[in-house]
Amino acid sequence: MPLTEFIVRRLLQLIPTLIFILIVVFVLVRLLPGDPTSAILGDRGTDADIARINRQLGIDQPIWVQFWLFVKSVMSLDFGNSIVLKRPVTELIAQRLPITVALTLLAALISVLLAVPLAFVAALRRDKLADNAIRGAFQVGLSMPVFYLGLILLTVFGARLHWFPVGGYGDTFFDRLYHLILPATTLALSLSAILMRNLRAAIIGVVDAEYVSFARAKGLAPRLILIRHVLRNALISTVTLFGLSIGTLLGGAVITETVFAIPGAGRLMVDSIYGRDYPVVQGLTIALAVLVSVTFLLTDLLQAYLDPRVAR
């Protein structure tokens, strides 16, 4: 019952969050330089054309009417048409967003596969050669900007060694997965360094706890102690950090997709900002914000599962 009440509470908390997101997106888009009318008509628009486009877009209405029309369009999943690409924004989001989600999920998976086992090795061999080597290697990756790290991996493993493609997305499932490995690794290296350091510190704090010593005194197998007692308790803070880092991964995907020429939502966002394609910017921002909010919800549920005290 406490877990059910916790889920209902968190779902209700999403409502004011989504309202706040709509307000912020509505205001920020209108603070961008330029206006959609100029982007549509260019330099040859007459006063009559400008008035006609403003009437079609609802820009000539009072601000509160514009906001109400904006909310109605979002609720009906109608973000209008792209000014540059001349296609429905919903169609563009449905086409591009899954690519960014796949890139983010693959990067998250790689970061977990790197961080968890290496955090155990570093924690169990604290201040020894293995610990210092792991922390030193991750520190190098953490100190590099994402775009610079991506260029290095692209030059070495793509252009010189020809192990991975230098860009594009592919056609089949496995071909697309093959194209995403290098950009996903670029995103994963910085996140895995943060997760590894956090999990290492948590394991060191848990491994000397009284209940772990009691489990050893009971004669439980070391592997069972590590999985059942150490890992589950150490993961609580790491899961929270991992969920908060999903937004960082999505932000890094904007740069990574540009470097590796991946036709995802991040690259579409950059192109739309430069092209002043405000409907696309507006729709993508809302979609990404909702995606991050749902990720935070799932993180809280997983944390409540690991530590039932959170749901109380």
Contact 250, 291 (CB under 8 A): yes
Q: What is the mean pLDDT of residues 245-272?
A: 80
Residue 274: predicted pLDDT:
76
Mean pLDDT estimate for the chain: 77
Contact 297, 10 (CB under 8 A): yes
Higher pLDDT, 287 or 306: 287
Chain-centre distance of CA 143, in angstroms? 20
CATH number for the domain whose boundaries are 89-311: 1.10.3720.10
Q: What is the mean pLDDT of residues 18-25?
A: 83
Q: For residue 188, what pLDDT band results from cuts at 50, 70 and 90?
A: confident
**pLDDT tens profile 264-284:** 888 888 888 777 777 888 888
**Angle, helices 232-259/89-124, rounded to nearest 10 degrees:** 130
Burial class, 163, CB count within 10 angstroms (exposed 0-12 / middle 13-18 / buried 19+): exposed
d(C-alpha 312, C-alpha 306), whole Å: 13
Give me the residue spans of the domains in the chain: 2-75, 89-311
Q: What is the mean pLDDT of residues 301-309?
A: 71
Percent of the chain with pLDDT over 70: 79
d(C-alpha 53, C-alpha 60), whole Å: 9
Q: What is the mean pLDDT of residues 135-158?
A: 77
Residue 196 has pLDDT above 80, yes or no: yes
For residue 144, give the amino acid letter.
M
Q: What is the mean pLDDT of residues 154-168?
A: 79
- For residue 257, which of 187, 155, 178 has the smallest C-alpha distance? 187
Residue 212 has pLDDT above 60, yes or no: yes
Residue 311: predicted pLDDT:
56
Q: What is the mean pLDDT of residues 69-78?
A: 80
Residue 121: predicted pLDDT:
82
Residue 251: predicted pLDDT:
74
Q: For residue 220, what pLDDT band results from cuts at 50, 70 and 90?
A: low
Residue 59: predicted pLDDT:
65
Residue 288 has pLDDT above 80, yes or no: yes
d(C-alpha 120, C-alpha 122), whole Å: 5
Kind plus residue range of the DSSP H or E element containing 278: helix 278-306
Mean pLDDT: which of 47-51, 94-98, 169-173, 203-207 is highest? Answer: 94-98
Residue 200 has pLDDT above 70, yes or no: yes
Contact 225, 212 (CB under 8 A): yes
Q: For residue 75, what pLDDT band results from cuts at 50, 70 and 90?
A: confident
